[in-house]
Amino acid sequence: MKYLPLDSRIFINNRKRFVAQMLPGSIAIFVSNDEFPSNGDALHPFKQNSDLFWLSGIEQEDSMVILFPDCPDPKYREVLVLVRPNALKEKWDGKRLKAAEASGISGIKTIVWTDSLDALLQGWIHLADTIYLNSNENDRKATSIRSREYRFIDEMKQRYPLHQYQRAAKILKELRAIKTKEEIVVVQQAIDITEVTFRRLLQFIQPGVTEYEIEAEIMHSFLCQRATGPAYGSIIASGDNARTLHYVSNNGICNDGELILMDFGAQYGGYNADLTRTVPVNGRFSKRQRVVYDACLHLHNYAKSILKPGISVVDYTEKVGDEATKQFQKIGLLTKSDVKNEDKENRAYRKYLYHGISHHLGLDVHDLGTKTAPVKAGMLFTIEPGIYIEEEKMGIRIENNVWITKNGSTDLMKNIPITADEIESLMKRK
């Protein structure tokens, strides 16, 4: 890993939070993600299962976490399962975690090697009444691939058909949505790396630069600051490209007089930042660009002011839609007639703002969390309204990350330049 060691209390506390929700006499088993083939004999870069990482901080493939709080032998109430280090294999693939190293990262004292797990696991299962197994219950899940989690579920139910089974994901969806102070420290590091990178870009961008050159600057800056890399594929969209929400071609030329929308964030210690800024390629907003930009910033600040404990994401989105309707009339995008005759299921403002305003953020960029239950203190959200005008070949989005507090929220990106004046001033200095 490139990042500095994290505080193991993050994972110790996370396990305590999960165990507190388990039924008496139960055991919970979490498995790693698959290693996925790309082509030939190559593999895609390994990405650890977020739930297993949340519980342990372990990024190594073929790992397991086993929690059995009622085990008669206290030694086996928390177990981390790893591949046994092999000197010959390490010559080819690099070193694997030793027991002491893994304990230092995770705070789990008992390490069991995979080649000696079966006999132990069978005994633990026989002592338990209920088995918690994990599955992917992210609401945005959009794949039918049967991953290792689901194959492990099949295997366990075949071997132990008379046990009761429970969904670990149901508990994790609630717990992972609430970020601890220790987790936010790591998120803030990812954000600080992203801030340094954005300020660097303001000195780099000028007419004639390509989108992929900007993407290269982002990657260079991230890696120089110990980030694992980008949290997701960076969106570097100049001119009319900015109206494509998930534009990742990044192969256009940034022209004088255009805006460039940049949606990017660093990943550090498994946690993600998610920033969007829209800036003028030549360093100066035109009069019309500034009008639309300021309207988008108004929506951003309005959304931040109402995203508090007690409101649901559905109600929050509806209120932001009401404010967007007012703003879009002010800047000439909607008429009173458009609003009066709008379809309540597809409101008029949706022509120019056709995505959600916020999503949960954390170990996953689109992290676990509810859309219908009230927002709670500890949740971490993006706030990212946008305005996309086909007739003007313009797209603007402004995004920050906020941590919900007891009475409101803390903007973790408050130090990142956001107003048109701030952006112009910093671009002028180059």
Q: Does the structure show a pLDDT above 70 at 375? A: yes
CATH architecture of 9-176: 3-Layer(aba) Sandwich (3.40)
Mean predicted lDDT score pLDDT of the chain: 96
CA angle (279 as vertex; 296, 402 as ends), nearest 5 = 55
pLDDT in tens, 172-228: 999 999 999 999 999 999 999 999 999 999 999 999 999 999 999 999 999 999 999
User: What are 175's two structure tokens?
Assistant: 């717990």
**For range 21-25, the mean pLDDT:** 98
User: What are 338's two structure tokens?
Assistant: 């458009």
- Provide the terminal-to-terminal Cα distance of the chain, rounded to the nearest Å: 34
Stated pTM of the model: 0.95
**For range 119-147, the mean pLDDT:** 91
Q: What is the DSSP string of 288-302?
A: HHHHHHHHHHHHHHH
Instruction: Please say whether the beta carbons of 300 and 310 come within 8 A.
Output: no
Q: What is the pLDDT of residue 430?
A: 62
DSSP letter assigned to residue 426? H
Instruction: Please say whether the beta carbons of 423 and 290 come within 8 A.
Output: no
Q: What is the pLDDT of residue 371?
A: 84
Q: Does the structure show a pLDDT above 70 at 60? A: yes
* Domain 181-428, CATH class in plain words: alpha beta
Q: What is the pLDDT of residue 139?
A: 82
**For range 355-374, the mean pLDDT:** 95
Q: Above pLDDT 70, what percent of the chain?
A: 100
Domain residue extents for the chain: 9-176, 181-428
Q: What is the pLDDT of residue 240?
A: 98
